Amino acid sequence: MQVTALNIGRNCSCGPCKQQRLVRTPLTRKPKAEPCKRMVGQTDADVFDGEDMLAQPILQRSDSLPADWDGYEPFEAGNAAAPLLSSHKEDDWKDFARSELWAVGRMALPVAGMNFVWLMRTIVSTIFLGQLGRLALAGGSLAVSIANVTGYSVITGLCYALEPLMSQALGAAQFHEVGIQLQRAVTILLACTLPICAMWCFMEPILILLGQDPAVARVAGIYIVHLVPDAFIICFVMPLRIYLTSQGITVPMFACALVAAAVHIPLNILFISVLGWGPVGAAAATWISDLLLLVLLLAFIWVSGVYKQSWGGFAPRECFREWGPFLALAVPSCFSVCLEWWCYEALLLAAGLLDNPELAVSTMAITENVTTLLFMLPGSLGNAVSVRIGKELGSNKARAARLAAEVGVALGFALGLLITLFLILLRHPLARCFTADPQLLALVGGAIVINAISLLGDAPQAVMQGILRGSARPATAAKINVGGYYLVGLPVALGLAFWGHFGVYGLQWGIVCAQVMQVLLMGTVVWRTDWATEAEKAQALTGVLTSEGKVQGRKPTKAMTIARKGALAFDEDGMAPIARSMDSYFLISSSYS
């Protein structure tokens, strides 16, 4: 097949192209100006007449195309002299690594700060509840645990589907699709939250049925019922977080979270200490501060104008269409997150069955709190790497995606080593932050050392999960989580704790075994990834069509139709897209020999 590409781009200086830029018409309409007949990579002296151009082979390799070009990297129309492998100088790994470290760090650190501030919100409410007595503290802690396991983990997991969808769409310059995915995600999250909140409304009788103390169950039931507004608010906050993160806008997001967290403290003082609302006040302070965060995020998006390129207005019809592709990514992502959260909750319950349950549960609770706080860094790094991988694949830059993955994994191992050394060296001061009991201090100190070893593997596996999410492979991550946590981690933990008589240390060693298994399996998957194939899949996912006008397994939407009419140039097989830009489009004519 021979395909001729006609260029109308911002880099062309001929009269028709200048006129075309002045009369920018929708891609679905016929251009008002005469299209430029310059072949991509040609000079003014090489311009052919229209009939002669049809006989020319597409994009013949010339001095403008590097000899080692593999056909998978994008070729920007109207800019033939530009480097074709990447804007990051991919041929120089060190230069690329430095630029990638800067890009990932600039994105990950504010996200980690926001996650830390968000976690402190729960800790602050718990501290205020502790001042009301053991019953309020026990009921509130139980309610927060149930809300995390049955609600927030589900919402967070479902929302992770947006990472590849948005980042790849941005990389592919399908900006309109980003706004559609945002609206669709909010709609799906709200629909999934309805049955969750219905269950929360009947949590008190459910807990009593499960054997919980009636007094504790009553406090927990009251607390979680008043968290229902927060569940619906999070359905808006989480997609907006990913919407901004995928665009690399993280510092303003952290600032908004900081303001909301600062307001959360006086709200707790007012509702709990002054008005005496107890657990109801703690729940109210939580959802009001989250509502403030939502308002601040929306205000920033509106004032800064970051929505203008991707928001085409509210599209109710699109919100209820194409749930299948979204859920195909969301459901495995949800299982991947929930399986990990549920495993730690199961270990906490198992600690209550040991010989000294009070000591064991306290040790597990303290180590889990320390782990959660320090996991903010590798977890945020995984989010940043996911966005970077998605953008490179969406831009059809297979080699850049591979190098970004290599840099991310190396950074994950380095971060894991630093966190491990930090925990081992400061285990005793950290333990004294939670308790002054000598027996508990000794037990927590040993548990933190084992926990530090597990984080040596947990940090890189968090990055690898981000790589799998960014390349739209959450099902693979979910399968590995099942194998790591439930086929290896839990059996080993329970065996060592109860039959090996290692107690709480046995539970911790089970987590270490799970992390080792996950690092090995995910590392193998990442190492064997065919990045060229993943780049082609990203083109299909973002609506870049093949020469037959179809996307693999998807019915073309309005955005895809525009992408097809905006033009692509294909190689001889008619499958690998080699040129695309939102600022230039190609008119395609083809003939079959």
* CB contact at 8 A, 12 and 32: no
**pLDDT for the residue 286:** 92
- Is position 385 within any domain? yes
- Is position 74 within any domain? no
Shared-domain flag, residues 422 and 571: no
Shared-domain flag, residues 408 and 511: yes
**How far is it, in rounded angstroms, from Cα 565 to Cα 589?**
12
- Is position 101 within any domain? yes
Residues 6+ apart with CB under 8 A from 28: 561, 562, 565
Max Cα distance, the chain (Å): 89
Q: Left (φ > 0), alpha (ψ -120 to 50) or beta: where does 34 sit?
A: beta
Evaluated on CA atoms 388, 393, 395, 396, the torsion sign reads positive
Q: What are 555's two structure tokens?
A: 């019915």
577-579 vs 585-591, strand pairing mode = unpaired
Q: At which of 504, 533, 562 does a domain end?
A: 533
**How far is it, in rounded angstroms, from Cα 394 to Cα 288?**
37
- Is position 137 within any domain? yes
Shared-domain flag, residues 248 and 295: yes
**pLDDT for the residue 554:** 43
Shared-domain flag, residues 521 and 557: no
How far is C-alpha 317 from the chain's CA centre? Answer: 26
C-alpha distances in Å from residue 357, one per residue of 124, 350, 441, 543, 550 = 26, 9, 16, 55, 60
**pLDDT for the residue 28:** 38
Look at the chain and report how many structural domains it folds into.
Answer: 2
Shared-domain flag, residues 552 and 514: no
Q: What are 229's two structure tokens?
A: 């507004």
**How far is it, in rounded angstroms, from Cα 40 to Cα 216?**
72
Shared-domain flag, residues 518 and 585: no
* CB contact at 8 A, 566 and 585: yes
- Is position 246 within any domain? yes
DSSP-derived secondary structure for 313-376: ---HHHHTS-HHHHHHHHHHHHHHHHHHHHHHHHHHHHHTTSSSHHHHHHHHHHHHHHHHHHTH
Shared-domain flag, residues 15 and 118: no
**pLDDT for the residue 136:** 82
**pLDDT for the residue 294:** 95
**pLDDT for the residue 86:** 41
Shared-domain flag, residues 518 and 551: no
Shared-domain flag, residues 379 and 455: yes
**How far is it, in rounded angstroms, from Cα 532 to Cα 576?**
10
- As averages over each run of 10 residues, the pLDDT of the chain (593 residues) reads 38 46 38 42 39 35 38 35 39 71 83 85 80 78 85 89 83 81 91 93 89 84 93 94 88 92 92 88 92 94 86 78 83 85 82 77 78 84 87 84 87 91 87 77 86 88 89 86 89 90 88 91 90 83 48 42 34 31 27 28
Shared-domain flag, residues 523 and 550: no
Residue type at 162?
A: L
- Is position 86 within any domain? no
* CB contact at 8 A, 577 and 539: yes
**pLDDT for the residue 231:** 93
Q: What are 37's two structure tokens?
A: 């007949």
Angle (CA) 468 241 340, round 5°: 45
- Is position 81 within any domain? no
What residues are paired with 3 via a beta bridge? 590
Give the end-to-end CA distance of the chain in Å, rounded to a whole number.
6
- Is position 48 within any domain? yes
* CB contact at 8 A, 485 and 514: yes
Shared-domain flag, residues 340 and 455: yes
Evaluated on CA atoms 318, 319, 320, 321, the torsion sign reads positive
C-alpha distances in Å from residue 283, one per residue of 80, 144, 230, 269 = 59, 10, 8, 13
Range of the domain at 506: 93-533
Q: At which of 506, 533, 560 does a domain end?
A: 533
* CB contact at 8 A, 234 and 155: yes
Shared-domain flag, residues 509 and 576: no
**pLDDT for the residue 51:** 36
C-alpha distances in Å from residue 149, one per residue of 144, 378, 388 = 9, 21, 29
**How far is it, in rounded angstroms, from Cα 374 to Cα 371?**
5
Q: How many CB atoms lie within 10 A of CB 307?
A: 15
